[in-house]
Amino acid sequence: MLARKSYLVSGIMVLLVVIMSLSPASAAAYTITVTGTTSILTEKSIGAVEGCDRFVVADLVDGGFKNYRIYAGTSRLETSDDDGVYGSPSIAQIKANINLIPWTTWDNAFNRTDGYFWSGTCTGLGGAQVSLTQMLTDLKNSGVAPVLTVRNTDNNNNPAWAQAMNPPNTPEDINEWWEHVFATVYWVNVRNNLMVDDWQVHNEPDNAGQGWAGTQADYIAFTQTTADAINYVYTTYLANRPHRIYAPVSTHANDWITASLQSNDSIVDVVDWHRYGPPASEAQMINGWVNQYNTDGKIEDLMISEWGSYRGKYGFGDAMNYAGYLRDHSTQTTPSQYVARSQIFPFYDWTTSMTGLVAKDGTRRDAFWAFRIMNRGLNGGKQGYTITHNIPANVTVSAIAAKDQGTGTLYVEVFNRSAQSHTITLNLSAHATTGTVTYREYSATNKDVVVGTGTLSGGIVTFTIAKDTIRQIIK
């Protein structure tokens, strides 16, 4: 009996070995071909949301970020009614004489060096000691586009005086809000040429905790008033240069988006929402709505102006997930899941628990490096190319490829989220047949560093990619 049991156990073990060796999830060799067939452009602008503990624009440049979201509004720029007379001047009076606005008061607001005085949650005393003027100047000089969120009251229901126009529904309320928006846009772009051309209408108006006290219908009207003030500055003083109005900046894909499209399709340039989780299904839904309610003949971009984590989840495992989401933003499917613009929340810390990609002392958290490798390959509307492969559906290996039209550099990102290493034969013959490629890697060990080179033979190069790794191939 013992001998028979021994033979039986041995036979089972051999069978298991055979099954495991045949399983597609085991280490295997796959071929990935970057065809010459163009697909969609990659994400136009990958950026980040501010945090109050630090501001050093070189951090954003190092990470390859192209936009930076900044909260503006009355709590930051108009802590008390700028002229002390509620409802005055009127819109018509401002248009007739812009110097009715007390510009010295606005100069002081933009230039105060304790630029995060309004937040109240920074881990250091008063947060980063930098003026809003300096932030916007540094962003302009570094080619990072500011995205300003204008709001009448903030998440702490401040300032108290502005609650009277929350929402603005009397002529006096509308005068005050129109003046605030006009003054903000005029100050940054006409008085100071800071090139701020992206404007968000409030923040999560569908979430009472973020300050909006009106109804959905009130927000629709609020968007119209806001857009009117913004557009007046551009048409009157800036030769109507390109600029974008973002709405509804909602908590997720919901009827605030459909209502905004139905009522404000002609004034909304970018449909803006927040998504803390996989983006594809909500992006598909919203792209469908954009087409369904398209009364102005314009297909609006999608913006996820908050994603990532507000609980400080920026370690390695989360970073791999976020890198995958960036890949998904630039992936063409039917229906489309394309996201044109996004902002990781937050870039710096807001509190000890709401931490970002970069700490107060400049330390880069793990996810920073994942964003840097993905930004290099995808950020900025690069030309995407269709990929073919022989990877089974149950193997979590994937790839995305795009070319920088300016430099001609081709970037391929190969993801291995499986539990084994795999051998990849990469065919780039549609783009190059000879020459050298550079390998960069993001993994638990390597944080977006060069790990070697390869030589093309007939456009083909072979390499091994370890588990839980992003390998970037640059040609």
Check residue 310 and report its DSSP letter.
S
Dist. CA 100–CA 87, nearest whole Å: 13
Indicate whether 2 belongs to any domain.
no
> What is residue 464's predicted lDDT score, i.e. its pLDDT?
98
Domain co-membership, 433 together with 325? no
What local confidence, expressed as pLDDT, does residue 26 receive?
58
List, in order, residues 6 or more apart from 364 with CB less than 8 Å away. 357, 358
Does one domain contain both 145 and 263? Answer: yes
Place of tokens 């105060």: 112
Q: Establish if 15 belongs to a structural domain.
A: no
Same domain (yes/no): 257, 370: yes
CA distances from 444 to 18, 24, 221, 412, 474 (A): 31, 24, 49, 20, 21
Indicate whether 435 and 308 sit together in one domain. Answer: no
Number of neighbours of residue 322 by Cβ within 10 angstroms: 20
Is there a domain that residue 14 lies in? no
For 249-270, the pLDDT digits (tens) are 999 999 999 999 999 999 999 9
In a shared domain, residues 32 and 75:
no
Residue with tokens 């126009």: 165
Residues 313 and 362 in one domain: yes
308 and 449 both lie in a single domain: no
Strand 45-49 to 67-71 pairing? parallel
Q: What pTM did the predictor assign?
A: 0.94
Same domain flag for 167 and 261: yes
Indicate which CATH number applies to the domain containing 99.
3.20.20.80
Q: 125 and 273: one domain?
A: yes
In order of 66, 138, 194, the CA distances from 55 in angstroms are 15, 10, 17
Q: Is residue 324 part of a domain?
A: yes
Q: Return d(Cα 165, Cα 2) in angstroms, integer.
A: 87
Q: Is residue 1 part of a domain?
A: no
Whether residue 284 is found in the same domain as residue 135:
yes
* Domain hosting residue 194, numbered range: 45-381
| Distance between CA atoms of residues 475 and 466, nearest Å | 21
Whether 159 is in a domain gets the answer yes
CA angle 155, 127, 277 (to 5 degrees): 50
pLDDT digits (tens, 9 = 90+) for 53-90: 999 999 999 999 999 999 999 999 999 999 999 999 99
Q: Which residues of the chain have pLDDT under 50?
A: 1-25
Residue 183 resides in a domain: yes
Looking at the structure of the chain, the number of domains it has is: 2
Are residue 292 and residue 438 in the same domain, yes or no? Answer: no
What CATH number has the domain bearing residue 396?
2.60.40.1180
Whether residue 30 lies inside any domain: the answer is yes
What does the pLDDT read at residue 370?
Answer: 98
72 shares a domain with 56: yes
CB-based contacts of 245: which residues, under 8 Å, 6+ apart?
199, 201, 223, 226, 227, 230, 231, 267, 268, 269, 270
